[in-house]
Amino acid sequence: MLIVDDEPKLREGMSTLIPWEDHGYTVAATAASGLEALDKFREHAPKLIIADIRMPGMDGLELIGELRKENADCHVLILSGYADFEYAKRAISFHIDGYLLKPVDEDELISYLQELRETIIQEERVSEWQNMEFVRSEDILFRHLLQPQEDEAVRAGAAAELGLEGQACEVVLLELKGLLKGGDSREEQVRSELERQWQPDNGLIFSLPPYIGILLKEPLKDETGRSALWRKLNGIIAGQELEFRAAAGGPAAGPEEVSRSFTAAGELLGEAFFGRKDIILSGAPDEWAEPEQESGEEPDPERDVEIQLLLAIETGSNEAIAMLVGQIIRKLVAAKRDEIYIKDNLMRIVSSTIARLEAANPDIRPFILSHAAPISEVYGSDYLSDVQTLVADYMEQISRQMNSGGRGDEIKRITDLIQRRYNENLKLGSLAEVFNYNSAYLGKMFKNQVGEHFNTYLDKVRIEKAKQFLNQGMKVYEVAERVGYMNSDYFNAKFRKYVGVSPTAFRKEQ
């Protein structure tokens, strides 16, 4: 193993205080920087690197990036004195094996070492086995058959040797999740069990990394058939304590169309993040597409789903939170259908929402500090549906805490919200959606209970706040922005309406 840290005391302490030999490790070298670590890695080829995340020159994350570019076969534990979201997110994206905060807890480190030692031993055994494994002749034939650019005569010859002449078929591809780095005997065990269950007369098994494939000699007819196949595959793969994704490429009338079915299945797996869990993916309609506007319905350019989410959390409208998170996700998908883009922006929205909640509700800060956002879980999720559930559950958890003292009736919750959020672009229509009311009906409820229309009440709260700011000596345009009026002339008109004089004159009178 290799220890990398720019602090000499930490390098020496790590080298001498931990009983490495007792846990099956030897410290081959230490390094004071990422560049020095690269040289030491190339010299010693360690199986484990423990690296500080913050170092001058090349830091720990840049070091890992360089190692991954070189396809370095090693495990990495990151040390950091910074419990920082950006570092954690980037570290996770490099597929590290652990993230430890300084000062390092010795028991936690030893737990990692024991677990990694078993993993490394298993990888070495698998590597030895794979080096002796002969290339399967059938897999070579499948490569000829499935590659779209292959010569037609070569593809026809491969089909004939595989016994597929005149045979309708369909390609199903499997992507195993949770395999150990550097090879895993469970993959071969899955393939062996698939071969046992699919006799040559009803299907052929092949491997084209990163997939295991099944060439079904009878195409799947409908969703019932796909569900039955998924259950059968799950029974085999779950027995190896693995998860998987699967996709069916659609029926092929003959061997000449098999490559099309193979390509379609691969494309579906490439989009699996956006698909449903626990099914054979098959080109079903995209559930993340934004709904089309109904005929005659004009989009509201001022409708801000993020603001609605904030209001739903503050007012305890948990039934609306999952729906609004879903709307935010669909907008992100429409902007860019990219997994990292969606995760990055969704976590940015979560972070921004929490900051705004804390600013207006300081009492919630201790709860948020003790209930961290599900960053690792979100970035580790293989399905967007799981991401939605994680974020919605977290937002609902905060909402329940904020409203644990009793929510009261809707109008009281709205007036309390206005007192806190008077400077936001509050609209009765947005609140109606949050509370699942008709906008006109909610407006009547508000007028009956408060005695004033929603907009009048909001204006009066803003003007009262404006008076306070004017008394503090703030300039008129600053006050206008502070209380939610982006146009100073409009603010002046509103102030005259409710106070009888201009803001400037009011300030002079005080």
| pLDDT computed for residue 299 by the predictor | 45
| pLDDT computed for residue 141 by the predictor | 83
Of 421, 443, 474, which marks where a domain is finished?
421
Q: How confident is the model at residue 209 (pLDDT cuts 50, 70, 90)?
A: confident
Task: Considering only the C-alpha atoms of the chain, give the largest distance between any 2 of them, rounded to a whole number of Å.
Answer: 98
Q: How confident is the model at residue 320 (pLDDT cuts 50, 70, 90)?
A: confident
pLDDT at 473 over 70: yes
User: Measured between alpha carbons, how far is 166 from 259 in angstroms, rounded to an integer?
Assistant: 15
Cut 0.85: pTM above it? no
Q: Find, among 29, 86, 36, the residue nearest to 61 by Cα.
A: 86
Q: Are residues 466 and 341 in the same domain?
A: no
Structural domain includes residue 329: yes
> Residue 226 belongs to a domain with what CATH number?
3.30.70.270
**Averaged pLDDT for residues 83-103:** 71
Q: How far, in whole angstroms, is CA 337 from its chain's centroid? A: 13
Q: Which residue has the higher pLDDT, 154 or 230?
A: 230
Structural domain includes residue 343: yes
> What pLDDT digit, counting tens, does each position of 129-149 carry?
544 343 357 778 888 888 877
> Residue 47 belongs to a domain with what CATH number?
3.40.50.2300
> Residue 486 belongs to a domain with what CATH number?
1.10.10.60
> What pLDDT digit, counting tens, does each position of 409-434 carry?
778 778 878 888 888 888 888 788 77
Structural domain includes residue 442: no
**Lowest mean pLDDT across 180-194, 316-330, 474-488:** 180-194
Q: Are residues 270 and 205 in the same domain?
A: yes
| pLDDT computed for residue 185 by the predictor | 86
Structural domain includes residue 428: no
Q: Are residues 98 and 67 in the same domain?
A: yes
DSSP 8-state secondary structure symbol assigned to residue 293: P
| pLDDT computed for residue 150 by the predictor | 72
Q: How confident is the model at residue 343 (pLDDT cuts 50, 70, 90)?
A: very high
Of 131, 156, 186, which marks where a domain is finished?
131
**Averaged pLDDT for residues 354-378:** 87
Amino acid identity of residue 220, one-letter, is: L
| pLDDT computed for residue 132 by the predictor | 39
**Lowest mean pLDDT across 15-29, 94-108, 161-175:** 94-108
DSSP 8-state secondary structure symbol assigned to residue 27: -
Q: What is the mean pLDDT of the chain?
A: 84
Counted residue by residue, the chain has a size of 510
Please give the torsion angle defined by the CA atoms of residues 84, 85, 90 and 95, in that order, rounded to the nearest 10 degrees: 90
Q: Are residues 146 and 269 in the same domain?
A: yes
Question: Residue 477: which domain range?
Answer: 452-509
Tell me the β-bridge partners of 73: none
Cβ neighbours of residue 250 under 8 Å, at least 6 residues apart? Answer: 170, 219, 260, 261, 264, 282, 283
Q: How confident is the model at residue 85 (pLDDT cuts 50, 70, 90)?
A: low
Structural domain includes residue 291: no
Q: Are residues 63 and 97 in the same domain?
A: yes
Q: Which residue has the higher pLDDT, 139 or 334?
A: 334
**Averaged pLDDT for residues 284-294:** 70
User: Measured between alpha carbons, how far is 473 from 301 in angstroms, rounded to an integer?
Assistant: 35
Q: Find, among 74, 61, 55, 46, the residue nearest to 7 by Cα.
A: 55
Structural domain includes residue 289: no
The DSSP element (H or E) to which 490 belongs, if any, is helix 488-499
Q: Find, among 330, 312, 344, the residue nearest to 90 by Cα.
A: 344
> What pLDDT digit, counting tens, does each position of 447-464 carry?
888 888 988 998 999 999
Tell me the β-bridge partners of 203: 216
Alpha helices in 70-149 (DSSP H): 85-93, 106-132, 137-146
pLDDT at 296 over 60: no
| pLDDT computed for residue 179 by the predictor | 86
User: Measured between alpha carbons, how far is 229 from 439 in angstroms, rounded to an integer?
Assistant: 48
Structural domain includes residue 274: yes
**Lowest mean pLDDT across 302-311, 329-338, 474-483:** 302-311
Half-sphere exposure of 138 (CA within 13 A, CB side): 14
Cβ neighbours of residue 259 under 8 Å, at least 6 residues apart? Answer: 145, 146, 147, 148, 150, 155
pLDDT at 161 over 90: no
Of 97, 131, 165, which marks where a domain is finished?
131
Domain count, the chain: 4
Q: Are residues 55 and 105 in the same domain?
A: yes
User: Is-contact 123 180, C-beta < 8 A?
Assistant: yes
